[in-house]
Structure 1
């Protein structure tokens, strides 16, 4: 698709937040009808499965790992609540401080989404305000460098700028980031706008930016150093007339974790166990480094070697699938025609008549396999009239029918590890996920 290597497309184009328009419609219904989730009217999201049960007593107990306290320098608190738009469930966010490189001139931006299936920091120009103008732009042959980043629900467009990035007590010094929405809409290349809707505002994005902390150290890698890919990097003389360009690794939007001076070999996303009926909020911890400090030991029972973008193989109901673990997806997304979809305002979220306990198999790039389990509860019941925003049983069909996207619901009650690809820089560690 769009000239980008398939693995790169899969990593960046899977959903960060499913069907924003659906949830906006749900909120509108709640405002009009005054709540009362589980009913057949718009207060339950307009579901066509108004009889779907929210009784989760038959479900097996989920994982119960508790996050460590976010008090050490290599940690930062992760929050899930009603968020900036007030209608987006399962959006995990952190605070990130952005500085003019090598100075104390900094700005902290809250509500940055944690995304384990993309790579690099992308922050809205509107969230930075006038501060964005203090960050120097990156250039390509004297022209301003811009990027079109493809996601399943649209694209982000904006300049590449250099900055120091601070998360918790860790700092990635003088790395390229993307500032979203700082170029005129008239500059958006056709190859970019063809991807889908622009995600260049907090209302569209559901957050003030995206912190991509997946396994890759850069967001494109070697492919963009040799080929001017149609929907990736652009040279924009005077900020206009943008055309495809190659870009060296040093100028590509960089995963901050891989560029920390210490604790740079991976991350652990720790989300708390929550009720199978959902709850209004949840607070977890993002831990930097694996086996580098007393609070980040490797204690996973299953470990899977991935490709360079964090992808695996999988199987569900006898079908072979592409699989990945993605905190940036707010549901577990897979195709199963035997599960009733909600319809109405909830679209292709699942609304089974009874809660379901399901399983799948993951297979890594070395052929090693392991089983995973997850639950599916009616989205109509889970959302509870718009009062629940932390949901561990939310699922639906979205994106490719050949994908198994283990989104944020899979993370609750688990420590999920992402080992950085250090072999690409001459190290010995190859990328992996574990839990």
Structure 2
């Protein structure tokens, strides 16, 4: 989903606090680096938090090649790993020299995509076919979005589209969809949804269109079948993220892993105690928090905080929507499956972000911010866990139960 709340100037955080009481701005000590236990395998990709310079942004390295030509490639660092979206999107400036194949409809018109993220940023650009290498997995042909605000005329749905990299060089969406929009009529038939566009060669403008599945940006993981790695193992069912436990006071940087496949190897098999939640096709389940039930929820590595509604018992809030309690608080909630009766109690800490922002730490497990209508369990919830996300339409087995009709998340 990519909801990244940026750090505000410390002075503004000090003077704009609502709620009872106030706290002295005593900075947290800068921590050391934290790392997950060493892991290896063709299905394993190292993750880094801290290299982008922004709080709680997990990034990895991805290689993009000209379609069918693995000798003509570019290796791109700082790709945001986002369980809240699906598909690979890369800024065009990193793809210079590659021969990527434009995706076209049956009339030969080019296909373009507009994406609106939860933090208010927009991305626009053509959909093209490439060969993509991630870790030891090679996807021979996958539709990606080339982020390019100079392509044609940016439609009004994408006003303010990002024109250059900021905190990352692209996004690898590893969410629950095999395509980034899906098979609903809103995606495949609607001509005014603002998501997909056809662009004719003789015009500078593009027109809203429905996009058949074969025209949409694709989740590369869904294509990691037995041909994608030398092991001959089908890792297309989903992925997991492993991050180390870190203290509430944060650490300078953290490292972990993105692991492809679920239940196909020893390094991607959930424990017998794993908590499993079915989701809808977009990855949503429910949260009960502070007396409010059935809040739409996501486990979203692309969001850099806990984003949840403010209630009468919520912590104080400060400028920018951050929660800033006078001292660290522990809050309780319940996760409930989108379908079926599974539910699990959970808890999480929220720290005073005024203190955190005067340190140099880039990884925190306890930063929270206000969100009106959803409960987004962002990257802080991933620390100290292996969090699994399966893909819609794929069959995965966890603890003896096989899931086929609904995606699942597990931790």
Normalised-by-shorter TM-score class: 0.7 to 0.9
What SS class does the counterpart of residue 360 from structure 1 fall into? strand
Asked if residue 283 in structure 1 is aligned to residue 252 in structure 2, the reply is: no
What is the CA–CA distance in structure 2 between the aligned matches of 1:114 and 1:69, rounded to whole Å?
19
Task: Report the equivalent of 1:234.
Answer: 197
User: Corresponding residue for 1:316?
Assistant: 289
Specify the alignment match of 1:181 in structure 2. Answer: 148
Q: TM-score, normalised by structure 1?
A: 0.81
Secondary structure of the structure 2 residue equivalent to 1:131: coil
TM-score (norm 2): 0.86
1:139, distance to aligned residue in structure 2 (A): 1.3
Q: How does 1:2-401 map to 2 (within 5 A)?
A: 12=1, 15-18=2-5, 20=6, 23=7, 25-26=8-9, 41=11, 48=17, 51=23, 67-83=36-52, 86=53, 88-104=54-70, 105-128=72-95, 130-131=96-97, 134-140=99-105, 141-152=107-118, 153-181=120-148, 183-184=150-151, 187-193=153-159, 197-203=160-166, 206-223=167-184, 224-238=187-201, 240-261=204-225, 262-299=234-271, 300-320=273-293, 321-337=295-311, 338-343=314-319, 347-364=320-337, 365-383=339-357, 385-398=358-371, 401=372
Residues 256-278 of structure 1 show CA distances to partners (whole Å, capped at 9, x for unaligned) of 11111121111110011112101
Q: Which runs of 5+ in 2 are unaligned?
A: 29-33, 226-233, 396-402
Query: Partner of 1:187: helix, strand, or coil?
Result: coil
In 2 relative to 1, CA 66–110 (structure 1 residues): closer, same or farther, beyond 3 Å?
closer
Per-residue Cα deviation, 1:305-363 (whole angstroms, up to 9, x for no partner): 000011011110011211110000000001124421122xxx21011011110111111
Aligned to 1:36: none
Question: Residue 253 and residue 221 in structure 1: after superposition, are their counterparts in 2 closer, same or farther (change >3 A)?
Answer: same
Task: Point out the structure with the larger strand share.
Answer: 2
1:19-46 alpha-carbon deviations (Å, 9 max, x no partner):
x3xx2x43xx6xxxxxxxxxxx46x776
Cα displacement (A) at 1:183: 3.2
Structure 1 contact 221–249 (Cα < 8 Å) conserved: yes
Q: Deviations over 1:215-245 (max 9, x none)?
A: 1101111132222242101011126220012
Partners in 1 of 2:394 and 2:59 — Cα distance?
29
- Gaps (5+ residues) in structure 1? 1-11, 30-40, 57-64
Q: Is the 8 A contact 2:27 2:356 kept in 1?
A: no
> Is this contact kept in 1: 2:46–2:258, CA < 8 A?
yes
Moved more, 218-227 or 253-262: 218-227
Contact 2:150 2:163 in 1 (8 A): no
Greater helix share, 1 or 2? 1
Secondary structure of 2:222's aligned partner:
helix
Kept in 1: contact 2:287–2:375 (CA 8 A): yes
RMSD after superposition: 2.3
Residue 61 of structure 1 aligns with which residue?
none
CA contact (8 A) 1:47 1:380 kept: no
Whole-angstrom CA distance in 2 between matches of 1:91 and 1:391? 10
The answer to whether the 8 A contact 2:236-2:394 is kept is no
Question: What is residue 402 of structure 1 aligned with on the other side?
Answer: 373
